[in-house]
């Protein structure tokens, strides 16, 4: 079923060939003027039309109407070449064919006149894969070619062809076919095949073909089958495995708005949909590349591209330098994702880097990200010589068992246990805290302690200089240490240092939050 369209719509004349105008012009001119070379080399990536062009050239040389740039397509030679039955056309694929082993024998045969055609044509695909001895055998024939022999060589890797062979070939470089041209050809095929299709599907297929007409037609075959005889965007996306990229647009907009919370939320939605975070980084880099391109060459995004409107909008929002920076961070993030604790953190850290290094980024975004854990505005308690007599951790443990809420709990966390006996607990509190937590809260704390330890318990509150051992002071200090560690770690990060140097940036310490 697949490959049906690719075979059916394979170009059979120079006029039908899409996207290689410069090669076609040179060849048709030469054919018209009967300026024939004995060896041609077509280079280019896979699927751009090298062997198709070779077969058309073989027809042009052998058409019964005479050597022509417009082979008739009807004569014996033309139809036999089209159906692969022409005896004087020897086609082999150096990548797979065992015939290559008897290259010498094959070429000895070249000395004999063609059986039915004007020329004996050798088409050798992926010629760079020939062995050294096969190249040597071919070189002998190339050095003194019989007048009736034509070589048409094709390769994706011309650099692997010996210079001695290259120098005897007329070389043509075939280009990757732009998506717009592929899309135009697909439209023509769809119309001829009476298949209804939306523009978005065609644009998606044209882009997915990556410059190869053969791949485009083969993808089109699959998309038609997948879509039950017609092309609709959702089904085409699904067939291509191309996830709707609006989540990437959301991420970039959140970045430009410095909205850390929106970034986190979108990453969470991605996790729910089980999207691959590594692929997301790749697609993010691709999108950034397209946005940057749209800034410089607005016409580079086809009008019927499903993402066109979003890309142009992003091109307006972002500065060129921001796009460069985000692109670099995305590419780097993808390279490092294997080292991250897990894909989600690797992805999230990459987005946070973008956020932290966006031009003009301040402390705000990260503050929006991290729940404000320890920002009470109280001056940090200082350890003094007046160390608590009772074990500070014992008080923290006790507070944990009280099940207090809100303000009473805040009071308990700010207290230091000075002493504890069976019937008295003495608590120290700073003078600032004493003003903030007046009688009702102290009564609540006392009641809770009595419930836990006995109704006869007395609780004394002493206001004065604290030792810095209250549960809150201990937690605050731990957070501070972790923050200092996080800052030091970020500052040590070679990638961060490189960014600071390359972009003449500075690090906003308060924007860094420990994990």
Judged by DSSP in three states, 121 sits in strand
Q: Which is nearer to Zn ion, 58 or 467 (CB)?
A: 58
Q: Token digits for 338?
A: 């294997």
- What minimum distance in Å lies between the beta carbon of 287 and Zn ion? 49
40 forms bridges with which residues in the sheet? 152, 170
The stretch near Zn ion (CB under 5 A) out of 58-66, 213-221, 308-316, 332-340 is 58-66
462 near 426, Cβ under 8 Å? yes
Helical ranges in 241-276 per DSSP H: 246-256, 260-272
Q: Which is nearer to Zn ion, 120 or 513 (CB)?
A: 120
Q: Which is nearer to Zn ion, 79 or 99 (CB)?
A: 79
From residue 143 to residue 162, what is the string marking binding to Zn ion with x (rule CB under 5 A)?
A: --------------------
The stretch near Zn ion (CB under 5 A) out of 67-75, 100-108, 144-152, 304-312 is 67-75
For residues 368 and 377, give the distance between their C-alpha atoms in angstroms, rounded to a whole number: 18
- What minimum distance in Å lies between the beta carbon of 82 and Zn ion? 10
- What minimum distance in Å lies between the beta carbon of 202 and Zn ion? 33
Q: Which is nearer to Zn ion, 89 or 130 (CB)?
A: 89
From residue 13 to residue 52, what is the string marking binding to Zn ion with x (rule CB under 5 A)?
A: ----------------------------------------
- What minimum distance in Å lies between the beta carbon of 13 and Zn ion? 10
- What minimum distance in Å lies between the beta carbon of 59 and Zn ion? 6
Q: Which is nearer to Zn ion, 63 or 408 (CB)?
A: 63
| CB contact set of 219 (below 8 Å; sequence gap of 6+) | 205, 208, 209, 239, 240
The stretch near Zn ion (CB under 5 A) out of 59-67, 114-122, 179-187, 188-196 is 59-67
Q: Token digits for 102?
A: 């008897």
For residues 386 and 295, give the distance between their C-alpha atoms in angstroms, rounded to a whole number: 66
Output the CA torsion sign for 398, 401, 404, 407: positive
- What minimum distance in Å lies between the beta carbon of 146 and Zn ion? 23
The stretch near Zn ion (CB under 5 A) out of 55-63, 190-198, 416-424, 481-489 is 55-63
197 near 190, Cβ under 8 Å? yes
Does the footprint of Zn ion cover residue 78 (CB under 5 A)?
yes
Does the footprint of Zn ion cover residue 72 (CB under 5 A)?
yes
Does the footprint of Zn ion cover residue 75 (CB under 5 A)?
yes
Helical ranges in 383-502 per DSSP H: 392-402, 406-414, 431-436, 439-453, 471-492, 494-502
Greatest alpha-carbon pair distance for the chain in Å reads: 121
The stretch near Zn ion (CB under 5 A) out of 15-23, 71-79, 216-224, 264-272 is 71-79
- What minimum distance in Å lies between the beta carbon of 28 and Zn ion? 15
Each as own residue / partner, the long-range contacts of residues 242-246 (CB below 8 Å, 24 or more positions apart, any chain) are 242/204, 242/208, 243/275, 243/279, 243/283, 245/283, 245/287, 245/307, 246/310
Q: Which is nearer to Zn ion, 81 or 427 (CB)?
A: 81
For residues 69 and 14, give the distance between their C-alpha atoms in angstroms, rounded to a whole number: 7
Total site size for Zn ion, rule CB under 5 A? 5
Does the footprint of Zn ion cover residue 466 (CB under 5 A)?
no
- What minimum distance in Å lies between the beta carbon of 65 and Zn ion? 5
For residues 357 and 513, give the distance between their C-alpha atoms in angstroms, rounded to a whole number: 14
**Element (DSSP H or E) covering residue 158:** none
For residues 70 and 64, give the distance between their C-alpha atoms in angstroms, rounded to a whole number: 11
- Binding residue (CB under 5 A) for Zn ion from 41, 63, 127, 412: 63
The torsion angles phi and psi of 134, rounded to 5 degrees, stand at: -65, -40
Question: Footprint of Zn ion on this chain (CB under 5 A)?
Answer: 63, 71-72, 75, 78
């Amino acid at each position: 079923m697949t490959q049906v369209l690719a075979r059916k719509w394979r170009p059979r004349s120079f006029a039908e060939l899409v996207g290689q105008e410069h090669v076609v012009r040179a060849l048709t001119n030469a054919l018209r003027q009967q300026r024939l070379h004995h060896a041609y080399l077509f280079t280019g990536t896979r699927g751009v039309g090298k062997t198709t062009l070779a077969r058309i050239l073989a027809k042009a040389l052998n058409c019964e109407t005479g050597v022509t740039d417009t082979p008739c397509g009807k004569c014996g030679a033309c139809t036999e070449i089209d159906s692969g039955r022409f005896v004087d056309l020897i086609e082999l694929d150096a990548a797979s064919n065992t015939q290559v082993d008897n290259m010498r024998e094959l070429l000895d045969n070249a000395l004999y006149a063609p059986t039915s055609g004007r020329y004996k044509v050798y088409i050798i695909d992926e010629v760079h894969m020939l062995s050294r001895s096969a190249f040597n055998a071919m070189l002998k024939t190339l050095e003194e070619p019989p007048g009736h022999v034509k070589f048409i060589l094709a390769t994706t890797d011309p650099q692997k062809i010996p210079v001695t062979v290259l120098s005897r070939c007329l070389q043509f470089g075939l280009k990757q076919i732009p998506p717009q041209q592929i899309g135009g050809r697909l439209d023509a095929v769809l119309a001829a095949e009476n298949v209804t299709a939306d523009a978005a599907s065609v644009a998606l297929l044209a882009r997915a073909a990556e410059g190869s007409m053969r791949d485009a037609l083969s993808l089109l075959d699959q998309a038609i089958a997948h879509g039950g005889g017609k092309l609709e965007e959702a089904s085409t996306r699904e067939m291509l495995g191309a996830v709707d990229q609006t989540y990437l647009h959301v991420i970039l907009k959140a970045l430009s708005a410095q909205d850390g919370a929106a970034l986190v939320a979108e990453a969470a939605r991605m996790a729910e949909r089980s999207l691959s975070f590594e692929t997301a980084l790749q697609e993010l880099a691709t999108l950034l590349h397209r946005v940057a391109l749209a800034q410089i060459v607005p016409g580079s995004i086809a009008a019927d591209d499903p993402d066109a409107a979003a890309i142009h909008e992003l091109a307006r929002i972002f500065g060129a330098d921001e796009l460069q920076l985000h692109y670099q961070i995305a590419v780097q993030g993808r390279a490092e994702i294997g080292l991250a604790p897990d894909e989600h953190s690797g992805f999230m850290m990459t987005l946070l880097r973008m956020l932290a290094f966006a031009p003009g980024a301040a402390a705000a975004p990260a503050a929006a990200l991290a729940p404000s854990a320890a920002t009470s505005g109280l001056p940090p308690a200082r350890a003094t010589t007046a160390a608590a007599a009772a074990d500070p951790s014992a008080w923290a443990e006790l507070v944990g068992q009280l099940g207090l809420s809100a303000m009473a709990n805040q009071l308990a966390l700010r207290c230091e246990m000075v002493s504890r006996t069976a019937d008295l607990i003495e608590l120290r509190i700073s003078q600032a805290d004493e003003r903030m937590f007046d009688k009702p809260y102290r009564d609540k704390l006392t009641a809770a302690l009595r419930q836990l330890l006995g109704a006869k318990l007395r609780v004394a509150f002493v206001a004065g200089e604290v030792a810095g051992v209250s549960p809150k002071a201990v937690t605050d200090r731990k957070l501070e240490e972790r923050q200092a560690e996080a800052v030091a770690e970020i500052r040590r990060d070679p990638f961060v240092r490189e960014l600071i140097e390359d972009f003449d940036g500075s690090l906003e310490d308060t924007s860094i939050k420990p994990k």
